Amino acid sequence: MVYAAGILILTLYNGKYYALLGKDHYNTYSDFGGKSDFEDRNNPIVTASREAYEETCGSMFSIDELIIKIQHCDVIPTLSYTNKTYNMYVMFVQYDNLVPHKFKKVYSYIKHIPYMNKFKEKTEIQWIPLQDILSNKIKLRNIFQKTIDNHKNTILKIAYKYTSTNTSYNYGRRSV
């Protein structure tokens, strides 16, 4: 089965929602995701976790940690740029201002290593205010822009649900 999956990483910091997005070689931002590989065993959770791990250069979590975390997250079913099923998992994390710096450090090390191409899809990662994303103030990858436009209300409902239940995070979503 051909499908794609990814993770939209959100946080709440100083009373504002932020999304961690990756910038590609076209200077557009998107979530962390991609198409399934044979190694994913037809499991969108594994695909999303592997893709997020690769595209963040492992600067946040291991693949196994991501698999555990997104099993408890809401998923938004949408379409990939090839009109295949795309599952976008919405994962909340504790804010960490060092994540973009960790990414930059790893990326600068691996960018000249030829066989590390799967880790080079994003050129930087950045915390961006969710409101800027939802109001089209950030240049997004075309298919990600379409997903945002089609699911703004769902993303906001998920964010409000997480933040209205408690103040601590558990497995990528707020604990009750």
CA angle (95, 99, 105) in 5-degree steps: 170
Report which of 103, 81, 90 is spatially closest to residue 22, judged by C-alpha positions. 103
Tokens of 10: 């959100």
pLDDT score of 65 more than 50: yes
pLDDT score of 43 more than 70: yes
Q: In the prediction, which pLDDT does 109 show?
A: 87
pLDDT score of 176 more than 70: no
Q: pLDDT tens digits for 124-157?
A: 999 999 999 999 999 999 999 999 999 999 999 9
Q: In the prediction, which pLDDT does 173 show?
A: 54
Q: In the prediction, which pLDDT does 36 show?
A: 93
Contacts of 79 (CB under 8 A, 6+ apart): 85, 86, 143
What is the overall mean pLDDT for the chain? 91
How sure is the predictor about 120, in pLDDT bands with cuts at 50, 70 and 90? confident
Domain count, the chain: 1
Check residue 113 and give left, alpha or beta (phi > 0: left; psi -120 to 50: alpha): beta
How many other C-beta atoms can be found within 10 angstroms of the C-beta atom of residue 99?
19
Q: In the prediction, which pLDDT does 155 show?
A: 97
pTM, 2 dp: 0.91
Domain that holds residue 66: 4-174
Q: pLDDT tens digits for 101-115?
A: 999 999 988 888 887
Greater confidence, 175 or 52?
52
Q: CATH number of the domain that 79 lies in?
A: 3.90.79.10
CA distance linking residue 50 with residue 62, whole number of Å: 9
Tokens of 102: 């960790």
How sure is the predictor about 163, in pLDDT bands with cuts at 50, 70 and 90? confident
Tokens of 146: 């379409």
Q: In residues, how long is the chain?
A: 176
